[in-house]
Amino acid sequence: MALTLTQLKNNIAPFLEYRNRVGYTRPSTSRSDAIDLRLYTNFMQDNKLDCITGSSLIGFQQHLCQERNNAPASVNRKIFTLRAFQNYLELNGVETAEKLPFKKVLKIRAARPYRANFLSEEEIKKLFGAINRNSVLGLRDYAVCALMYLLGLRVGEVHRLDMGDIDWYENKITISGKCDVKRVLLLTNEIKTAMENYLAVRGNIFKAEGNNALFISKKGNRIAIRTIEDNFKKLLKASAIEKRFKVSPHTLRHSCATMLNEKGVKILTIQNILGHSNPNTAINYYLHTPVHIMRAALEKLPLTLFLNRLIDEGEIRLTFQQQRYRNTG
């Protein structure tokens, strides 16, 4: 007999508590798990389905893709939550838990992106130039953006930074990445200047004294991820940068990695700076030959050299046909 929806719902709260205590998940991960499970139970209720079957799970997967327009990665993450839930039920000896279909459903294959979207160095200059460094909050936002661009930090990593994470004597900063994995990065002179300018006025922010958070909001709390994102949107509008893709704080991280790759930094070094656990992530997104190098390589082909010589010697004359427009009047 298949597991019923009621049995599944009765085990959700203990599962989330288990994940928090033993799995040591962040509050944001726990919230995502709860949302994923609620989406599934709501789908079952809306469709008047009481038993967890393979067909109901396929229907849920199609619902996410077609009705909610979720990206493949988003759909796969929700299925992963259900698989973790099944593992928990099996460990607790819940009857028929091993027959749940969560581990059998196919993973959605997503097209591999050609490369991560990034801003050019000129666009980066425009972006930083739009920050008002004559205000306390402006100096704070400049330091936040400098860490995301010059060190490739995630917005969540900036949010979690504490005052004690900076070692001024060694010129190092300790980053708490995903799953609380630590990595230590060096502070360049440019980053040190941005941080020193902010810290010189940090005490003027409300409730700054005794606050362990490195970056503080105007209300005196640790700056929220949403606040960083909202401030970045305002900055993007002020800089008048327009791109075909969505520009976000994470774009600064992509821009950092792309800049390092184009300057010849080894991919393993880029991986260590960004804090990727899998080198393939850095390879797939950032390891691309710059356009000017590809053009120079193609110019060295024998046929290209031969044709260029004929053109230089006048043996081949290039003519360009002008576009003709029909008179429709």
Q: What is the pLDDT of residues 47-98, one digit of tens each?
A: 998 989 999 999 999 999 999 999 888 999 999 999 999 999 999 988 888 9
Among the listed residues 87, 99, 101, the one whose alpha carbon sits nearest the alpha carbon of residue 1: 99
Q: Is the pLDDT of residue 287 over 90?
A: no
Q: Work out whether strand 182-186 and strand 166-167 pair parallel, antiparallel, or are unpaired.
A: unpaired
Q: What is the DSSP string of 106-168?
A: PPPP-PPPSS-----HHHHHHHHHTS-TTSHHHHHHHHHHHHHHHS---HHHHHH-BGGGEET
Residue ranges, CATH 1.10.443.10, the chain: 121-286
Tokens standing for residue 258: 């792309």
Among the listed residues 162, 149, 114, 133, the one whose alpha carbon sits nearest the alpha carbon of residue 284: 114
The β-bridge partners of 222 are: 216
Residue ranges, CATH 1.10.150, the chain: 5-99
* Cβ neighbours of 67 (radius 10 Å): 9
Measured distance CA(45)–CA(163) in Å, rounded = 48
Instruction: Decide: helix, strand or coil at residue 259.
Output: helix
Q: What is the pLDDT of residue 96?
A: 86
Phi–psi pair at 321, nearest 5 degrees: -80, 130
Measured distance CA(52)–CA(105) in Å, rounded = 13
Task: Tell me the helices (H) and strands (E) count for the chain, helix number first.
Answer: 15, 3
* Cβ neighbours of 120 (radius 10 Å): 13
Q: What is the pLDDT of residue 206?
A: 92
CATH of span 121-286: 1.10.443.10
- Average pLDDT on 198-209 reads 94
- Cβ atoms 39, 81 nearer than 8 A: no
Phi–psi pair at 175, nearest 5 degrees: -105, 135
Instruction: Decide: helix, strand or coil at residue 181.
Output: coil
Measured distance CA(146)–CA(158) in Å, rounded = 10
State the pLDDT confidence band at 21, using cuts at 50, 70 and 90: confident
Q: What is the pLDDT of residue 325?
A: 53
Q: What is the DSSP string of 41-102?
A: HHHHHHTT--B--HHHHHHHHHIIIIIS---HHHHHHHHHHHHHHHHHHHHTT-TTGGG-ST
- Average pLDDT on 128-153 reads 96
- Average pLDDT on 108-137 reads 87
Tell me the one-letter amino acid at 254.
H
Reported residue count of the chain is 329
- pTM here is 0.73
Q: Among 17-26, 33-42, 227-236, 295-304, which stretch is predicted with the lowest mean pLDDT? A: 295-304
- Residue 187: left (phi > 0), alpha (psi -120 to 50), or beta? beta
For domain 5-99, which architecture applies? Orthogonal Bundle (1.10)
Q: CA of 223: how far to CAs of 239, 253, 277, in Å?
A: 23, 19, 27
